[in-house]
Every structure is written in structure tokens, then in C-alpha cells.
Amino acid sequence: MKKIALSMVAIATVSMAGGEIAPMEPVVETAHTTPAVESSFLDRFHFKGDLRLRYESIERDDADNKYRNRYRLRLGSKIDLTDSLQFQVGMRSGFANPTSGNQTFNDDEPLSDYFLQSLRFNILGLAYKTENGTLKVGRQPYMMYRPIKSQLVWDNDVSMNGVNYQYKDDSSIITLGVNQPTLEEASVAKDDVNLFLAQYVHKTKLDAAKLNVGAGIYYYDGLKGNTTLFGSRKGNTLDTNGLYANDYHLVEGFAELQLKDVFGKPLKVAAGVVYNFGADENNFGYDLGIQLGKAKKVGDWQVKYSYTELEEDASFGAYSDSDNFGGGTSASGHAIRAKYKAGKNLYLAGNFFFNEIYASNTKTGEEADYERVQLDMIYKF
């Protein structure tokens, strides 16, 4: 707990900081002084990236504590093949971890030996855009809507491997997809797994607020009787042979209320539930969240609190939040996430997790306290 206290003092000295790192902002195109023909060609290329430096402490009752310095590097580019068709490519550190780009600094190894070696493709595909729709083919970031960026079902860093389509207008968002998680580079599953997804969000404008209500179906085919996809069960139930004991046919529902001005700041309140029809027990989870403020302009801040509970087989643990609970399911607890925009491209961030890990997911077979602190500095370019 001393490490926790010291970390909280440290974050206070650098002001309010931020938890969830939003997807990288669109590249802002600037005017060129080159001839018109050359400018038109160069404007087809868009580049972006970010570097996050993190201090992290993890203290839990059933395992050794960890104190480490980490980084995450993301690089991305888009090429306009036509006015509607883009080729998109992105790389992320972390040796192909499907839900994290974090890489720990090694004291006994030169930085040059592993800094670039850990980069792997997390985006590689085509995107075709129309007035209201986007069709993506290949390896692409998730397209599902998440209320206040909830990670109840989907971690921030999950990529989809397949064909996905999204339609948006003023009143609705419709997302459909067919994917194969076992196409991930890090997959070690013995059999292929298919993922069929569908999500609908209805948007309603109120006098001083917006209300989003949605539901989703995420149907995994091929998990029951299969080996773990990425080498860890992440809280999900395995049989005596170490294979998935259940299917994962998930149904999600959520509501999100966005208020424009509360104490001079935007306020969001959301609740979500997930239920797995592929399991007979321990198959329910929920998430409650509230966020005040938005770190959009220099000097802006935001802070979010959430409480999450996920039974063992409520969701597919390999794709749910990789930070809360230490990743996966079979736990409950509180999360406080904050973010402060310190400069045009600079953010200070902090996450604080206070969880209870279920006995089924600990090394001692008894419930364990889990406390985690992350202090971040993020630079976007």
C-alpha cells in the first residue's frame, strides 16, 4: 500500500491525469507550398502515432508484487487510393499482444535490442467509405460503439480480422461483422474460431442532452473444446483437459446519457450488461460508469469512475479489459481514470484499480485483493 500512496502523491504533483487513452486523433492536414499537382499527390498520405511512457505498480494477495516502467509505441498511416477507398496500415509495440501494446523496459538488455523488435501489425487492410457507411476488410480496429469507452466486452486495443461494416446517421449506428480471432499473430489455438457480430445503437437528442441506447450480439463459433487462444484463460472456465468448457454467445445491452453542461463540464453516465447464452452458470456481468469533463483543449481534464463485475464466463476474457482485474473476467471492483491535456500533443494520465479477484481465478484458491496504479505521459505526433 505504500507504493499506492506514493503513486497517488506523485499523480497529484503533476495535476489531474487521464485513464483510457482514446483512439489517436485524426491527422490534421496542413497547407503545402509545393506546386498544385505535387500537393494533391502528397495529400493522399496521412501519418500519425503516439508514444506512452508508464510507471506501473501491481499489488495482489496471491502473487508477488510488480513495480515496472513500460512504454507503448503506435505508428499508423492511411493512403487515399481513391476518394472513397483507403489503404490503412498500423504497427504497435508489445510483441502482438491482442489487447495491449505495453512493453516493459529491460534493465539487462539494451533498448535498441527490443524497442523495434516488439512492433507488430495491428492494422492492415482496406476501408471503403460512403456518405453514411464504412466497409473495412482485413485487420482493423474494432468498430463497435462502447458507452463512455466501457471495456466490459471489448478492450481498447482489440483488432478485428475479417470483414466489418458500419452505418451511421443522426439517429442510429448499425455495425455488422464476420471475423476470425485465430488470425491474430499471437494466437496459439489448435482450432479456428469465427466471430459473428451485430450491434445497433439508437441515438436520441434531448433538450440539453443526448441518450444512446444499444444492444449487441457477439457469437463465437469454435471456442468450446478449443485450447486458449493466446495462452491464458483470462478467468474463463476450462475443463480437466485445459480446454474451454463453454461456448461464448454474448448478448450486450447498454444506455448512455450525455449532458452538455454540469458544473461547466460535460457529464456522461452509462450502464451496461453482458450475458453469455453459451454457459449455464457464472455467465453475467455489468458495468456502471460516470465521467465528468473532457480533455479536448489544452488545460482541459476529465475524470471517470466505474464499477465492474464479471462472472467467470460472462464474456470472452481474452478480449475484455486487460488492465482491470489484471485482465479478463472472474472479478469485481472499482476503477478511477483521469486525463489532463498539458500541451497541444501532450497528455498526463493516471489509472487506479481496486479489485477483488474471485477464488476461481487466483493462485491460492482464495479471494484476493488486487490494486494497480498506472501513471502515464503520452505524446501524440
- The reported pLDDT for the residue numbered 22 is 40
Rounded mean pLDDT of 142-158?
97
Contact 349, 19 (CB under 8 A): yes
Looking at this protein, which amino acid is placed at residue 368? A
Instruction: Supply the pLDDT for residue 9.
Output: 38
Question: What pLDDT digit, counting tens, does each position of 198-219 carry?
Answer: 999 999 999 999 999 999 999 9
Q: Answer whether 313's CB lies under 8 Å from 246's CB.
A: yes
Confidence of residue 254 (pLDDT cuts 50, 70, 90): very high
pLDDT at 239 over 60: yes
Q: Note the pLDDT tens digit of each residue in 261-320.
A: 998 999 999 999 999 999 999 999 999 999 999 999 999 999 999 999 999 999 999 999
Annotation: CATH topology of 2-26+39-380: Porin (2.40.160)
- 31-40, 257-266, 294-303, 355-364: segment of lowest average pLDDT: 31-40
pLDDT above 90 for 183: yes
The conformation of residue 10, written as its DSSP 8-state character, comes to: H
- Give the pLDDT score at 10: 41
Domain boundaries, the chain: 2-26+39-380
| Residues above pLDDT 90, as percent of the chain | 85
CA distance 155 to 189: 20
Residue 328, helix vs strand vs coil: coil
pLDDT of the residue at 110 = 83
| Distances 329 to 21, 36, 196, 332 between C-alpha atoms, Å | 21, 55, 21, 8
pLDDT of residue 108: 80
- Cα gap 17→356, rounded to integer Å: 24
Residue 38: what pLDDT?
52
pLDDT value at position 42? 87
Confidence of residue 376 (pLDDT cuts 50, 70, 90): very high
Q: Containing H/E element for 331?
A: strand 331-341
Instruction: Give the per-residue SS3 of 104-141.
Output: ECCCCCCHHHHCCCCCEEEEEEEEEECCCEEEEEEEEE
Mean pLDDT computed over 19-48 = 58
